[in-house]
Structure 1
Amino acid sequence: MPSTRRSLLQIATALAVSTTWSIGALAQSTWPSKPLTMIVPFPPGGVADTVARPVAEALSRELKQTVVVENRAGAGGAVGIGHVARAPADGYTVLLSLSSISILPEADALLDRKPAYQMNQFKPIARFTADPTVLVVRADAPWKNMAEFLADAKAKPAAYNYGSSGNYGTMHVPMEMLKNTAGFRMTHIPYTGAGPAIVALLAGQVDAIATGPSTVAQQIKAGKLRALAHWGDRPLASLPEVPSLTQLGYPVRFAQWSGLFVPAATPDDVIARLRTAAARAAVDPAVVQVIEKAGSPIAYLDAPDFQAYWDADARTMTGAVRRIGKVE
């Protein structure tokens, strides 16, 4: 079944299930009776922020309450994610996170430090996007394709660097996976989020980044950046001419997905209402237009399917972090 049709079917199912649930459970409920806060654990300008803002506006319309986006950056996303893990489980604090939510607890364990949170402290509501990361360099860089990039990196070990959103984040892990597979070295320069890392690339402070296509599509179209390859399985709608690493003989895959979460103890009736609102947000024309214009098509999954996807992805990411090893 084509992915678009499958997503629409999942949305319809989510609406039917949550509406049925809601008939009795929400009849006497007054939730939400005040504004919600959507925590984005990264600075403005990255994938999470790009998705969060139109989704928050759509949720506001559906829930008839303002949904305020609050950026709480730090520690590769751990600061904001940990904040939501400790928030009251009343539905008024939600999290719009990336796949780094699966990575950071394992990184904390690897570094022998107390985890900022555990994954079982959250329940998933919906996945909105799932994009493979894209390897990007400046348009004036000497590399016109992936072969040239790798040949130069191998010929000059550690002569080049790459930026990321932080240690073990969704821009760090895919690059380390590629380095291990292709056999080259680059120095890792962590920033506080994708936005600052992209600014650093444009300013010439780093030589490359791996990030979601939605954060760099406009700079690529403007001729400021060049995409060399991506970590996906099929052509990207926004960058159809860019080859996948698998096509080039490097079987590494990584999806930088975005999803909505709540603290695990959130009441079932509130979760049902949020699922309904999220399903409608995923087909809201304003949401679809903004996110697709940024180069990131909607890849909606309702809570049950998202949970299964998240579990499988977490297993893959845990293995990747262990292979990377300790990074101080």
Structure 2
Amino acid sequence: MSSPIWISRSSRHSGMPTQSASRRPCNRSAGWRAEMDRRQFVIGSAAAALWSHEAAAQEAFPSRAITILNAFPPGGANDLVTRPIATVLEPILKQPVVVETKAGAAGSVGAQVAANAKPDGYTLLSHNNGLAGYAEVDKLFARQPKTTRADFIPLARLSADPVLLLVNDQQPWKTLEEFIADAKKQPDKIIYSSGGFYGASHLPVAMIEHAAGIKGMRHLPTAGGGPAITAVLGNNAQMTTQTVQASLSHIKAGKLRALASYGATRSKALPDVPTMKEKGFDLEYYLWVGLFAPKGTPAAIVSTLTSAIDKAGASPQFTTAMANIGLEPSYQSAADFTKFWDEDSRRAEETIRQIGKVG
């Protein structure tokens, strides 16, 4: 027997059962809660999807080709060092690594392009000592610096070739001491060649001039390291400073004589050539090649790049490629390179100030 349905007085007037009337507020409350739950679910799902998309995008780096801007002409030291590292990086990063030449204005064109690139890890810069000197030279001439060291994040030093003080083999100087003594007595009789004002073959000469108290040697700036060596080979200049790699064949052929090395230790290729430090001068100078990212590149991307570059730099393929062009192993990871760059830049900036306005 079914239970009787009790009808209240108010229900009798309205003609509706009490149970239905009492359910109405509950249905509205439950519906409101369901709608809020649905909205929160949609919002939460959208946020989760967005987070997942961003996380996936970060984890996916690199997802396309990386370009390394070479700031100097093809065939030079930068080019010869950068291409092997790019080749070794490709299987590590699982993406193409393209070397693109952006030469001009002694490397400043490539530096400016890299500094203005989107800091997403897909545009890197291969550069050398000159990257620190641009701003200091601009200061000398009261110009607004186009780039500064702060525009770049150092990723790795790929090579560091010590510079040699070289003379024509027909000249009488057999030691650094003999050259310095003569340069002090008759500086105007000695012409030194360089690859251009404030460049990697000008600063080392200025360093030894200042350290040894030499004043008045004549400067023959040329269009690059190659022409500077040619000037000494032809006896149009008597002295220059160039790297081991650039001058070794001429030394072996008996056309150039190395009086001293600016390296911290003697070169394995030239074990009989003393260092400047052995001769009493606290001087070091290298023509180095480094990789940089634009400032603002996310730390996670920088970490991915440095890890990959470290693996490439330690690979037999890269070290063999460096040996094939006459370079001894001198790779530095980001932390060591940053410290080295700080010290090297300080020396370069100080030397530029000592040189003053020229050109």
TM-score by length of 2: 0.76
Closer, same or farther in 2 for the Cα pair 1:119/1:281, shift >3 Å?
A: same
Q: 1:253-289: CA deviations, max 9, x gaps?
A: 2233321101112233332222122112212223212
Q: Match for residue 85 of structure 2?
A: 55
Q: Is the 8 A contact 1:87 1:263 kept in 2?
A: yes
**Residue 223 of structure 1, CA deviation:** 3.1
Q: 1:74, 1:141 → 2: CA distance?
A: 35
**Residue 170 of structure 1, CA deviation:** 2.0
Q: Match for residue 210 of structure 1?
A: 241
Q: Match for residue 287 of structure 2?
A: 256
Aligned length, in residue pairs? 304
1:299 maps to amino acid: S
Q: 1:145-202: CA deviations, max 9, x gaps?
A: 3233233333332223222232222221111011112233322233343234334444
Structure 2 gap segments, 5+ residues each:
1-54
Q: Which residue of the other structure, out of 149, 154, 158, is the alignment partner of 2:179? A: 149
Q: 1:51, 1:312 → 2: CA distance?
A: 22
- Identity fraction in percent: 39
Q: Which residue of the other structure, out of 302, 315, 324, is the alignment partner of 1:271? A: 302
**Residue 105 of structure 1, CA deviation:** 1.0
Q: Are 2:304 and 1:304 equivalent residues in the alignment?
A: no
Q: Match for residue 162 of structure 2?
A: 132
Relative contact order higher in (CA < 8 Å, ≥ 6 apart): 1
Q: Which residue of the other structure, out of 230, 244, 249, is the alignment partner of 2:275? A: 244
Q: 1:232-265: CA deviations, max 9, x gaps?
A: 3322222111011222233322233321101112
Q: Match for residue 255 of structure 2?
A: 224
Q: Is the 8 A contact 1:123 1:264 kept in 2?
A: yes
Q: Is the 8 A contact 1:124 1:306 kept in 2?
A: yes
1:169 maps to amino acid: G
Q: Is the 8 A contact 1:85 1:121 kept in 2?
A: yes
**Residue 86 of structure 1, CA deviation:** 1.8
Q: 2:82, 2:236 → 1: CA distance?
A: 28
Q: Match for residue 105 of structure 1?
A: 135
* Secondary structure at the counterpart of residue 258 of structure 1: strand
Q: Is the 8 A contact 2:187 2:218 kept in 1?
A: no
Q: Match for residue 224 of structure 2?
A: 193
* Secondary structure at the counterpart of residue 300 of structure 1: coil
Closer, same or farther in 2 for the Cα pair 1:182/1:80, shift >3 Å?
A: same
**Residue 117 of structure 1, CA deviation:** 0.4
Closer, same or farther in 2 for the Cα pair 1:118/1:199, shift >3 Å?
A: same
Of structures 1 and 2, the larger Rg is shown by 2
Q: Is the 8 A contact 2:61 2:301 kept in 1?
A: no
Closer, same or farther in 2 for the Cα pair 1:104/1:27, shift >3 Å?
A: closer
* Secondary structure at the counterpart of residue 82 of structure 2: helix
Q: 1:99-147: CA deviations, max 9, x gaps?
A: 2212221111111112120111100111122333111233344433323
Closer, same or farther in 2 for the Cα pair 1:91/1:54, shift >3 Å?
A: same
Structure 1 gap segments, 5+ residues each:
1-23
Q: 1:25-56: CA deviations, max 9, x gaps?
A: 7774152412x332232334543233222222
TM-score by length of 1: 0.82
Q: Is the 8 A contact 2:62 2:95 kept in 1?
A: no
Structure 1 stretch 81-90 or stretch 184-193: which is displaced more?
A: 184-193
* Secondary structure at the counterpart of residue 187 of structure 2: coil
**Residue 95 of structure 1, CA deviation:** 1.4
Q: 1:284, 1:26 → 2: CA distance?
A: 29
Superposed structure 1 runs of 4+ greater than 6 Å apart? 24-27
2:116 maps to amino acid: R
